[in-house]
């Protein structure tokens, strides 16, 4: 169906942003990323960080492709500037 004709049927895809665990990025930095880039409360940031730390990866949220891609790029940028190997990826929901 053409979205120009039936705009109400458009269902934008969501993309999950995942944070991956590593041995070198500090817990404090990961929580800072979750609070400043993913707008999490300190309690939620701590919960997600610990999930990544104990299970290898965790979801930071679901966003449009553009927003998800920007959040991944901003995360990687900040991590590299601080000298951390933190990795983040996108996954279609
Ligand atoms: N495993 C890291 C440590 O023990 C903490 C960490 C958590 C790193 C989450 C990355 O996405 C991450 N310092």
CB atoms closer than 10 angstroms to residue 23: 5
Q: Residue 54's Cα: distance from chain center in Å?
A: 17
pLDDT in tens, 20-34: 999 999 999 999 999
- Ligand 1 residue neighbourhood (C-beta within 6 Å): 19-23, 25-27, 30, 49, 52-53, 86
DSSP assignment, residue 9? Answer: G
Which ranges constitute the DSSP H helices of the chain?
Answer: 27-36, 42-55, 65-82
Task: Kindly list the strands in the beta sheet with 57-63, ordered across the sheet, starting from the edge strand earlier in the chain.
Answer: 57-63, 15-20, 87-92
Kindly report the protein residue whose alpha carbon is nearest to atom 5 of ligand 1: 27
Kindly report the protein residue whose alpha carbon is nearest to atom 10 of ligand 1: 21
pTM above 0.85, yes or no: yes
Average pLDDT over residues 66-86: 98
Q: How confident is the model at residue 12 (pLDDT cuts 50, 70, 90)?
A: confident
Q: How confident is the model at residue 89 (pLDDT cuts 50, 70, 90)?
A: very high
**pLDDT at residue 42 above 80?**
yes
């Amino acid at each position: 169906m053409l979205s120009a004709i039936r705009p109400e049927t458009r269902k934008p895809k969501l993309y999950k942003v995942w944070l991956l665990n590593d041995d070198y990025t500090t817990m404090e930095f990961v929580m800072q990323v979750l609070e400043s880039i993913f707008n999490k409360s300190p309690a939620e940031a701590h919960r997600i960080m610990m999930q990544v730390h104990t299970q290898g990866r965790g979801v930071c949220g679901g966003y449009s492709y553009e927003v998800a891609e920007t959040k991944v790029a901003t995360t990687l940028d900040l991590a590299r500037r601080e000298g951390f190997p933190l990795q983040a990826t996108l996954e279609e929901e």
